[in-house]
Amino acid sequence: MKKECPSCAMMIENDAQVCPICKYEFPRRGYQNKLKWIAVLLALLFLLVILL
């Protein structure tokens, strides 16, 4: 699997964190999703505390 670097448009390895050609750093996958889930869980906990 290869992916296209958004900075230099070269095809590089899919699991590369940094582009070997232009040193572009890829954002870590799943980080935003995890933050969203933590926010949802905290909101649910907050609701439980209010209801109890």
Tell me which residues touch Zn ion (CB under 5 A): 5, 7-8, 19, 21-22, 24
* H helix count then E strand count, the chain: 1, 2
Give me the least distance between CB of 24 and Zn ion, in Å please.
4
**Closest CB to Zn ion among residues 6, 40:** 6
**Closest CB to Zn ion among residues 12, 42:** 12
> DSSP 3-state helix, strand, coil percentages of the chain (rounded to 5)?
40, 15, 45
Give me the least distance between CB of 38 and Zn ion, in Å please.
31
DSSP character at residue 35: H
